[in-house]
């Protein structure tokens, strides 16, 4: 009888432990990418709303697939996040789907660049000098209170209509630093919507490489690449632009 009672108690304890494991939420370590390069808010003034209900995307990274749930492309094949390998100061600025600790998707420059946009992919960003561009990204569990508020670099090449410049050149072309944790509130820390805005600097008309670059940990960099077409030299006043 004593053995039976003890055995029953052990089984009950094991069952409680298994139930606890099955019901405890698991926070998955994930990595981010630029979800949108030209985000338009439905309400240009007031609090920024980066959620799908708060605006729309009219300019994307290279070969960015349409009609995918926000923040879901780390589960895609290939995944969207590209982690630079080796020395981050000399690594490839954009994923070629071959190199990197996380190789990511193919974000090499197409010839012509327009081939990386349209159809099943999002459209290229078209903007003007002085205009405001707003870039969006998913939090991927890295915008919580215990996480550092690191900065997202926005790098814009100075060479128009040309092959992607080497990493060293892009490091000299940082035009904005955006707080990574500038996010809307949400119950799912993986899918919280984040973003930041900046002014387009002086450039001649043409197509340029824009790079979104984020450091998760020291020496651990993730990038997304997009072509942006600058069509005018004056300040753009497009409807629905975000504000700084």
Q: How is the chain split into domains, by residue range?
A: 31-230
**Alpha carbons 86 and 118: distance in angstroms, whole number:** 33
What pLDDT is stored for residue 29 in this prediction?
A: 55
Tokens of 104: 């990511």
In three-state secondary structure terms, 230 is strand
| pLDDT by position in tens, the chain (length 244) | 444 544 444 444 444 343 443 443 444 556 889 999 999 999 988 899 999 999 999 999 999 999 999 988 887 666 777 787 778 778 888 888 888 777 788 999 999 999 999 999 999 999 999 999 999 999 999 999 988 899 999 999 999 999 999 888 888 999 999 999 999 998 899 999 999 999 999 999 999 999 999 998 888 889 999 999 999 764 444 433 443 3
CATH 2.70.50.50 is held by the domain 31-230: yes
Question: Residue 96: its pLDDT value, please?
Answer: 86
68 phi, psi to nearest 5 deg: -115, 145
The pLDDT assigned to 64 comes to 95
What would the two tokens of residue 192 be? 């919280």
Pairing of strands 132-138, 193-199: antiparallel
Predicted local confidence at residue 233, as pLDDT: 61
The H or E element spanning position 56 is strand 55-57
DSSP 152-211: EEEEE-S--SSPPPPHHHHHT-EEEEEETT-B---S-TTS-EEEEEEE-----SEEEEEE
Could you please report the per-residue DSSP string of 102-168? B--S--PPPSSGGGGSSTTBPPPEEE-TT-EEEEEEE-TT-SSTTS---EEEEEE-S--SSPPPPHH
Write down the pLDDT at residue 89: 76
């Amino acid at each position: 009888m004593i053995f039976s009672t003890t055995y029953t108690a052990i089984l009950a304890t094991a069952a409680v432990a298994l139930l606890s494991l099955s019901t405890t939420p698991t926070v998955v370590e994930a990595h981010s990418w630029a979800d949108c390069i030209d985000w338009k808010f439905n309400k240009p003034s007031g609090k920024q709303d980066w959620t799908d209900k708060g605006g729309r995307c009219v300019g994307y990274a290279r070969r960015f697939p349409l009609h995918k749930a926000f923040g879901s492309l780390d589960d895609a094949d290939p995944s969207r996040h590209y982690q630079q390998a080796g020395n981050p100061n000399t690594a490839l600025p954009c994923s070629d789907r071959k190199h990197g600790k996380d190789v990511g998707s193919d974000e090499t420059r197409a010839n012509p660049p327009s081939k990386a946009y349209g159809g099943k992919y999002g459209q290229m960003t078209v903007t003007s000098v002085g205009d405001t561009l707003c870039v969006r990204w998913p939090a991927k569990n890295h915008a919580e209170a215990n996480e550092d508020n690191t900065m997202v670099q926005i790098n814009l090449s100075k060479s128009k209509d040309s092959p992607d410049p080497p990493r060293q050149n892009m490091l000299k072309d940082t035009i904005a630093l955006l707080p990574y944790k500038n996010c809307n509130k949400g119950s799912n820390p993986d899918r919280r919507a984040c973003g930041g805005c900046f002014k387009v600097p002086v450039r001649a008309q043409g197509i340029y490489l824009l790079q979104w670059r984020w450091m998760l940990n020291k020496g651990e960099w993730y990038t997304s690449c997009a072509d942006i077409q600058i069509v005018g030299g004056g300040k753009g006043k497009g409807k629905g632009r975000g504000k700084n």
